[in-house]
Amino acid sequence: MNKLTIYVIGAVIVGGGILTILITNNSDAGVTVTDVTTGKSEEVKFEDNAAGNMACKILTENVAKMILGDSAKNGELPVGQTVTKDISVSNCVYTAPIDPAAPVRIANTKGVSLLIRSAKTSKGKDSNNDQFSVLKPSGVEDVNGFGDKAFFNPEFGQLNVLKDGNWYIVTSYTGNAGAGTLASNTELANLLNL
């Protein structure tokens, strides 16, 4: 092995260690997650996202089965989680066939998903807040009763919720992810205690 290869490997190891220190030391923020079937609550810290998918700790299999039925399966999204100095992004998705005997197709699928953009710093919190004020898309419908602010985006079929500086994107759909309705998304958001 030549010296350049050894230096590159060493830099990756040191860089990863520094990133881990930043992730674990940047935030004490979190949310209380309540399992709707058992009533048991636990505090989940956003810093835990480095060790596991925060969105799947909130959108649990039990919640997915309440919407989709017992055939709900956790699916993998191309972007599982992303962590930066200011923001931690994670997502979780469950799908189920509408008719188990029918061929697998988008039209025969229903699903639920949750994407969380967790603020780790005041800069991350400001960025999330901007999405609900100066950067809020046109054509959205403001929704009351969720978080600090919320709006439904009919173009994407998503309910966007700002709660304690964190941005939650809730989707509950039949057919394709853009087919979510305000009613289906608010049902899911209620189960997630947003």
The three-point CA angle 112-135-143 to 5° equals: 50
In a domain, 6, yes or no: no
Structure tokens at 67: 């919407």
pLDDT of residue 106: 65
The mean pLDDT of 107-112, rounded to a whole number, is: 83
In a domain, 161, yes or no: yes
The predicted-structure confidence for 157-191, as pLDDT tens digits, reads as follows 999 999 999 999 999 998 877 788 999 999 999 99
Domain that holds residue 98: 29-191
In a domain, 181, yes or no: yes
- Total domain count, the chain: 1
Which secondary-structure segment (H or E) carries 96?
strand 87-97
**Burial class (CB within 10 angstroms; exposed 0-12, middle 13-18, buried 19+) of 119:** buried
The mean pLDDT of 12-22, rounded to a whole number, is: 31
In a domain, 147, yes or no: yes
pLDDT of residue 76: 60
Q: How many CA atoms lie within 13 A of 44 on its CB side?
A: 21
In a domain, 88, yes or no: yes
Within 10 A of 135 (CB to CB), how many other CB atoms are there?
10
pLDDT of residue 84: 84
Give this prediction's pTM.
0.71
SS3 157: coil
In a domain, 14, yes or no: no
In a domain, 160, yes or no: yes
Higher pLDDT, 68 or 5: 68
Reported confidence tier of residue 3, pLDDT bands at 50, 70, 90: very low
DSSP 4-58: HHHHHHHHHHHHHHHHHHHHHHS---EEEEE-TTT--EEEEEGGGGGTS-HHHHH
Within 10 A of 147 (CB to CB), how many other CB atoms are there?
18
Higher pLDDT, 112 or 2: 112
In a domain, 4, yes or no: no
